[in-house]
Amino acid sequence: MASRNGKLPEEMLAEARRQLQLYEKNGKEIHLRQACEKGWGASVQAVFRELGRKPRRHRETLQAFETVSLQRKDDFIARMGATADGLHNCFYHADTPPRIVEASLKDVERLISTLKDKRKAK
C-alpha cells in the first residue's frame, strides 16, 4: 500500500537513507530532519499496509503499532512504535545524533522485512 504521496515503505526508507547520507556529507540540518521523517513514514506505512488501510490521523499511529504487534504476537513491532515516534520527534527538533538515526533506519528495514515475511507466510 502506497502512502499519500504514492510511495511504498521501501521507497520511503531508501529516501531516508539518501537524506542521511546528504546530512553526513554537508551537515545541513534539513537533511537530518528529512531522514527522520522519511524513516517515520516508512515504518508507519509498513504497519498500515499490514492493516490494509491508510492512516487518517497522526494519533492513530501508535495504536496501529500496538494492534499489529498483538495480532502478530511480536514485541519488536510494538517497540518499533517508540522508534518511529522518536524519528518523528527528530523531524521537529533535529536533536537525534546521526548514528542513532542510522540504527533506527536499520530497525525500520527490519520492520518492513518482518511484516513482508509474515504476509507471505499467511
Per-residue confidence (pLDDT) for residue 120, from 0 to 100: 62
3-class secondary structure, 33: helix
Looking at the domain assignment, is residue 4 inside a domain? no
Q: Is the pLDDT of residue 35 over 70?
A: yes
Torsion of CA 112, 114, 120, 122, to 10 degrees: -120
Per-residue confidence (pLDDT) for residue 118, from 0 to 100: 67
CATH number of the domain where residue 20 is located? 1.20.120.330
Q: Is the pLDDT of residue 64 over 90?
A: yes
Range of the domain at 82: 9-121
Looking at the domain assignment, is residue 3 inside a domain? no
Report yes or no on whether pTM surpasses 0.85: yes
